[in-house]
Structure 1
Amino acid sequence: MFSPSKLFRSFAVACLLFAAAAFSHAASAKPNILIILADDMGFSDAGCYGGEVQTPNLDALAKDGLRFTQFYNTARCWPSRGALLTGYYAQEIRRDTVPGVLSGGRGIRPGWAKLLPEMLKTQGYRTYHSGKWHVDGKPLQNGFDHSYDIEDHNRNFNPTLIFEDDQKLPPVKPDSGYYTSTAYADHAIKCLKEHAEKYSDQPFFEYLAFTVPHFPLQAPAQDIAKYRDRFRKGWDEMRVERWQRLKDMGIVDCALSPIERSLGPPYAFPKDVALLGPGEVDRPVPWDTLTDVQKDFQATKMAIHAAMVDRMDQEIGRVLAQIKTMGQYENTIILFLSDNGASAEMMVRGDGHDPSAPMGSAKTFLCLGPGFSSLANTPFRRHKTWTHEGGIATPFIVHWSKGIATHGELRHTPSHLVDVVPTLMELAGGKPFDTWEGQPVPPRPGKSLVPALAKDVTIPRQSIWWQHEGNRALRMGDWKIVASGEKSPWELYDLSKDRGEQNDLASSQPEKLKELVAEWEKETGEYRALALKDATPEMKAKGAPKKKEAD
Structure 2
Amino acid sequence: FERSYDIADQNRFFGPKQLTLNDQPLPAVPENEGYYVTSAIAQRGVQWLNEHHAQHRDQPFFLYLAFTSPHFPLHALPEDIARYADRYVSGWDAIRQQRWKRQREVGLVGIELSALEKSTVPSWNLAEEELQRRLGPGEVGYAVPWTELTAEQQRFQATKMAIHAAMVHCMDRDIGGVVEHIRALYDFDNTLIFFASDNGASAEQIIRGDLHDPAAPLGSAKSYLGLGPGWSTAANTPFRKHKHWNHEGGISTPLIAHWPAGIKSRGEWRRSPGHLVDIVPTLLELAGLAPPASFNDEPRPSFPGRSLVATFANDEPVAHAPLFFKHQDNRALRRGDWKIVAAGKDAPWELYNLVTDRSERLNLADKHPDTLAELVAIWTARDAAYAQQGATGTPLPRPGQAKPKK
TM norm structure 2:
0.94
CA distance in 2, matches of 1:535, 1:170: 29
| Counterpart in the other structure of 1:411 | 270
Pick one of 451, 455, 461 that aligns with 2:314: 455
CA distance in 1, matches of 2:280, 2:52: 23
Q: Percent identity?
A: 51
Structure 1 residues 303 and 441: alpha-carbon distance in aligned structure 2, compared to 1, 3 A threshold: same
Structure 1 residues 199 and 524: alpha-carbon distance in aligned structure 2, compared to 1, 3 A threshold: same
Pick one of 108, 111, 114 that aligns with 1:254: 111
Secondary structure in 1 aligned to 2:306?
coil
Pick one of 180, 200, 225 that aligns with 1:366: 225
CA distance in 2, matches of 1:172, 1:391: 32
Matches within 5 A, 1:276-295: 276-295=135-154
1:352 maps onto 2:352 in alignment: no
| Counterpart in the other structure of 1:192 | 49
CA distance in 1, matches of 2:388, 2:31: 48
CA distance in 2, matches of 1:439, 1:369: 43
From the two aligned structures, give the one with the greater strand fraction. Answer: 1
Secondary structure in 2 aligned to 1:489?
coil
Q: Which amino acid aligns with 1:224?
A: I
Structure 1 position 273, deviation (Å): 5.4
CA distance in 2, matches of 1:157, 1:442: 39
TM norm structure 1:
0.69
Structure 1 position 328, deviation (Å): 2.7
Q: Which amino acid aligns with 1:294?
A: Q
Matches within 5 A, 1:114-129: none
Structure 1 residues 266 and 247: alpha-carbon distance in aligned structure 2, compared to 1, 3 A threshold: farther
- Is the CA contact 1:265–1:282 (under 8 Å) kept in the aligned structure 2? no
Structure 1 position 205, deviation (Å): 0.7
CA distance in 1, matches of 2:295, 2:9: 33
Secondary structure in 1 aligned to 2:253?
strand
Structure 1 residues 300 and 228: alpha-carbon distance in aligned structure 2, compared to 1, 3 A threshold: same
CA distance in 1, matches of 2:287, 2:31: 43
- Is the CA contact 2:9–2:18 (under 8 Å) kept in the aligned structure 1? yes
- Is the CA contact 2:298–2:393 (under 8 Å) kept in the aligned structure 1? no
Structure 1 position 534, deviation (Å): 3.9
CA distance in 2, matches of 1:421, 1:494: 28
| Counterpart in the other structure of 1:172 | 29
The answer to which of 380-389 and 145-154 deviates more is 145-154
Structure 1 position 433, deviation (Å): 1.4
| Counterpart in the other structure of 1:152 | 9
Q: Which has the higher contact order (CA 8 A, sep 6+)?
A: 1
Secondary structure in 2 aligned to 1:311?
helix
CA distance in 2, matches of 1:299, 1:436: 49
Structure 1 position 535, deviation (Å): 6.7
Structure 1 position 533, deviation (Å): 3.8
| Counterpart in the other structure of 2:258 | 399
- Is the CA contact 1:265–1:369 (under 8 Å) kept in the aligned structure 2? no
The answer to which of 324-333 and 392-401 deviates more is 324-333
Which ranges in structure 1 are unaligned for 5 or more consecutive residues?
1-143, 537-551
Structure 1 residues 177 and 379: alpha-carbon distance in aligned structure 2, compared to 1, 3 A threshold: same
Pick one of 525, 533, 536 that aligns with 2:384: 525
Q: Which amino acid aligns with 1:512?
A: T
Pick one of 387, 390, 401 that aligns with 2:249: 390
Secondary structure in 1 aligned to 2:192?
strand
1:504 maps onto 2:373 in alignment: no
CA distance in 1, matches of 2:342, 2:296: 39
Q: Deviations over 1:134-159 (max 9, x none)?
A: xxxxxxxxxx1111222111111111
Structure 1 residues 265 and 528: alpha-carbon distance in aligned structure 2, compared to 1, 3 A threshold: closer
| Counterpart in the other structure of 1:304 | 163
| Counterpart in the other structure of 2:100 | 243
- Is the CA contact 1:266–1:344 (under 8 Å) kept in the aligned structure 2? no
CA distance in 1, matches of 2:147, 2:53: 55
| Counterpart in the other structure of 1:86 | none
- Is the CA contact 1:387–1:467 (under 8 Å) kept in the aligned structure 2? yes
Matches within 5 A, 1:86-165: 144-165=1-22
Secondary structure in 1 aligned to 2:64?
strand
Q: Which amino acid aligns with 1:223?
A: D
Structure 1 position 272, deviation (Å): 5.0
Secondary structure in 1 aligned to 2:215?
coil
Secondary structure in 1 aligned to 2:391?
helix
